[in-house]
Amino acid sequence: MAPQSTQRALSVYLYIPNIIGYFRIIINCVAFALCYSHKTLFAILYFFSFFCDGLDGWFARKFNQVSTFGAVLDMVTDRVSTACLLAVLSQLYRPGLIFLLLLGLDITSHWFQMYSTFLSGKTSHKDVKDKNNWLLKAYYGHRPFMAFCCVASEVCLSTIKETPLLSLSFFVTLIGWAVKQVINVIQMKTAADSCVFYDTKRSK
C-alpha cells in the first residue's frame, strides 16, 4: 500500500499546473534578485510569472489536474510575490507605510478566504457561489474581470512614479487597483463571517 500511496503523491507533485507553479517560484526569485539593479528585466520576469499564473488554472482544468496542493501552491506563490513587490515599493517610494498596509490587507483577506474555504469543504477559494456580495461573485465568476483587476493593480503599483498622473492608462489601472482593494475588504469580511458561522454552528 505504501509504494502505491507514495506514487499517487508523487503524481500530484508532478501535475502540469504544479510544475508551472514551481517555475513561477524560480522566475520570481530571479526577478526579485534583480529588482534594484535591472528594473526593466525585473518587470519582464515579474509579469511573465503573472502571465503563467493564468496558465496553471487552464492546464488544471484541461487535464483534470485540479488539486488541493495546487490551489495552496498557487495562493502562496501569488501572495508571496505580491508581498515582495509591495515590500520593494515601500523602500522605493514614500510614504512606504501605504504599501505595507496594502500588503497586510492582501495577506489577511486571502488567508481568511482560503481558511474559510476549507472549513466549508470546498475545493477552491474561488468558489463563492453561496456568497451574497455581487462584486465578489463578479470577481471570481468572470475571469476577464478578475484578470483586469489583477493586471491593473500590478501595473498601477509598478508604474505609479513613471506614469504621468493625468494619463488615461494610469486612470484605467487606478480603477482596477481600487476595485481590487475593495474586493479584498469584502472578501476578508465575508470569509470572517463564514468562520464565525462555523464556530456558532459547531457550538450548538
Question: Which residues are annotated as catalytic?
Answer: 78
DSSP-based three-state secondary structure for 70 = helix
User: What's at 59, amino acid-wise?
Assistant: F
User: What's at 179, amino acid-wise?
Assistant: V
Concatenating the DSSP letter of every residue in 159-195 gives STTTS-TTSHHHHHHHHHHHHHHHHHHHHHHHHHHHH
Q: Are 27 and 49 in contact (CB under 8 A)?
A: yes
In 3D space, the residue among 15, 27, 40, 180 whose CA is nearest the CA of residue 110 turns out to be 180
Provide φ and ψ at 133, rounded to 5°: -75, 125
Burial of 161 (0-12, 13-18, 19+ CB in 10 A): exposed
Report the alpha-carbon distance of residue 137 to residue 37 in Å, rounded: 40
